[in-house]
Homo-oligomer: A and B are copies of this chain.
Amino acid sequence: MAQDAFTKRLVAAAQEVERTLDRLLKPELSPGEQARPARLLAAMRYSALDGGKRLRPFLLIESAALFGAQGEGVLRAACALEMVHCYSLIHDDLPAMDDDDLRRGRPTNHRAFDEATAILAGDSLLTYAFDVMADAATHPDAQVRCELTLGLARAAGLGGMAGGQMLDLAAEASGEPLSREQIALLQAMKTGALLRFAAEAGAIYGGAGAQERAALVAYGRALGQAFQIADDILDAEGDEAAMGKRVAKDAGRNKGTLVGALGLAAARALRDDLAQQAVDALAPFGARGGVLAAAARFTAQRAH
């Protein structure tokens, strides 16, 4: 798939995700809710409706499309996944964590609101993700909804994303350099788990067979690794204007990256190799895998 056509598709999906998130994050109550406090809802919307690329939702949507699944339910599942990503950014930016003032060129949530509100907005986005995922409007089959919910929780929790953030903070606090294996584990958990799950979730949603699902897991895993290395390369060479956040901060903080462990040239080669591995994993889908293949190349080559 040509880069232009891919970018159009990515942007169109992001707009659908944005619309669905906007609809989900309204003052109107769901049954069983008592009130949606305005300030909390505003803080949730601030970080959820920020016009990001929506890469994780895109991977879920396009993976599900391989099995003919599309529409409102898929979008809801994609938004649940994105809410978990957004919650993690809010909490990672907190003063006690990475202490960032800017995120995508705007004040971070605790800067725009306050720390207590940011903590609660993160908590509430995380919680709402499971509300949305478990709701019958997301998929008619409760077995599928449970599998999606369980997979999302496991990718996000102590054995996945949150655990990865813990390892990252511990490495920073210790000051000891990490081994290549430790960096790989940290990254596979902190950013890899949710990206891998994005592709797997599409397979679950679409009712994929075991082999197709395994192919998408392999795809998502390689893409996730390529994504993180690309991010580290950008951080090493990037400039503040392009990234909309402080750069080169990783080097100053003992954030273990493979760029540091391997050097820039080897890191670029590994990134491209991983993107190719992701593309290769799509072989069972033939030409239908073209969009996801383009996503892997886009992830590796992106400029910000």
Contact = CB atoms under 8 A, between A and B. Distances in A.
A242 interface: no
Given A37-B166, A41-B158, A145-B146, 14 more contacts: A33-B154, A36-B158, A87-B123, A119-B119, A120-B162, A127-B153, A127-B162, A130-B149, A130-B152, A131-B157, A133-B149, A134-B146, A136-B146, A146-B146
Copies in the complex: 2
Interface string A75-102: 0000000000001000100101100000
A159 interface: yes
B193 A160 contact: no
Given A116-B96, A131-B154, A40 B145 contact: no
Given A142-B142, A163-B40, A189-B34, A153 B134 contact: yes
Contacts of A135: 150
A123 B156 CA distance: 9
Interface string A159-179: 110110111011000000000
Interface in A1-60: 29-37, 39-41, 44
Contacts of A155: 32
A34 to B, nearest CB: 5
A67 interface: no
A117 interface: yes
Contacts of A149: 130, 133-134, 146, 149
Interface centre among A31, A119, A134, A135 (most CB of B within 10 A): A134
A280 to B, nearest CB: 23
Contact of A124 (B117, B143, B163, B167): B163
13 contacts: A30-B159, A32-B151, A32-B154, A34-B160, A35-B185, A37-B167, A94-B116, A94-B119, A96-B115, A117-B169, A123-B123, A127-B153, A130-B150
Given A29-B159, A34-B160, A119 B96 contact: yes
A170 B116 CA distance: 10
A283 B4 CA distance: 67
